[in-house]
Chains A and B, each alone.
Chain A
Amino acid sequence: DTAVSQTPKYLVTQMGNDKSIKCEQNLGHDTMYWYKQDSKKFLKIMFSYNNKELIINETVPNRFSPKSPDKAHLNLHINSLELGDSAVYFCASSLGGGQFFGPGTRLTVL
């Protein structure tokens, strides 16, 4: 009965690879988000999707692309991974008001 779930929880990969992180919410929310928490522990918004339309793209490299097959899912695809992409990525959802976060995916690029 997890509200916002992400897979995988940990992801270790080589530079240059392409990877995806999946996110699902069962709250019936209409907006989903991706955040990045870097080594300095800052949580920063990357994308938000509302009714399958991209609303925000905060200076994120175009190697990152969100894909929303339906209202309950927002997956994050990353192409040509770089060392600086190593971080914890959090998915979140909201219906307006507070956002509910997933457990995070720790991505390590070697």
Chain B
Amino acid sequence: DQQVKQNSPSLSVQEGRISILNCDYTNSMFDYFLWYKKYPAEGPTFLISISSIKDKNEDGRFTVFLNKSAKHLSLHIVPSQPGDSAVYFCAASAAGGGADGLTFGKGTHLIIQP
């Protein structure tokens, strides 16, 4: 039973354009959402997060949008750069990002084409 779903296994975007990665969740108790980036043979790297009391959070080229009614969040990367090519994981927590573990999606492999 996947509580966090990333339905696109891969996404190809041209350098300089906007990358939009999507994530859906089913657990209404989730109140804290995160995006991680992962390169091969490395651990996931925290990118950006959003609390359920917000609908948008921005950090440089990265913006996360949260639509609670649709149980949907998305990560926008603009402009996309070659170094953004990686697997992106959406994750959620039901404890405000506290001591609970995170529930992860299966990841989306983002490929930035020159």
List chain A positions with a Cβ less than 8 A from chain B.
Answer: 4, 31, 33, 35, 40-45, 48, 50, 55-56, 58, 90, 92, 94, 96-104
Contacts and interface: CB of A to CB of B under 8 A. Distances in A.
B41 A104 contact: yes
Name the interface size band of chain B: 20 to 34
Contacts of A104: 41-43
A9 B96 CA distance: 31
Given A104-B41, A104-B42, A42 B104 contact: yes
A103 B40 CA distance: 10
23 contacts: A41-B87, A41-B106, A42-B104, A43-B91, A43-B104, A44-B104, A45-B101, A45-B102, A48-B99, A50-B99, A55-B100, A58-B101, A90-B44, A99-B46, A99-B102, A100-B46, A101-B36, A101-B43, A101-B45, A101-B46, A103-B42, A104-B42, A104-B43
Given A4-B43, A101-B43, A43 B99 contact: no
A4 B96 CA distance: 22
Which of B43, B49, B102, B106 has its CB near the most chain A CB atoms (within 10 A)?
A: B43
Which of A35, A90, A97 has its CB near the most chain B CB atoms (within 10 A)?
A: A97
Given A4-B43, A41-B106, A98-B34, 18 more contacts: A31-B99, A40-B106, A41-B87, A42-B104, A43-B104, A45-B102, A45-B103, A48-B101, A55-B100, A56-B99, A90-B44, A92-B43, A96-B96, A97-B49, A100-B46, A101-B44, A101-B45, A101-B46
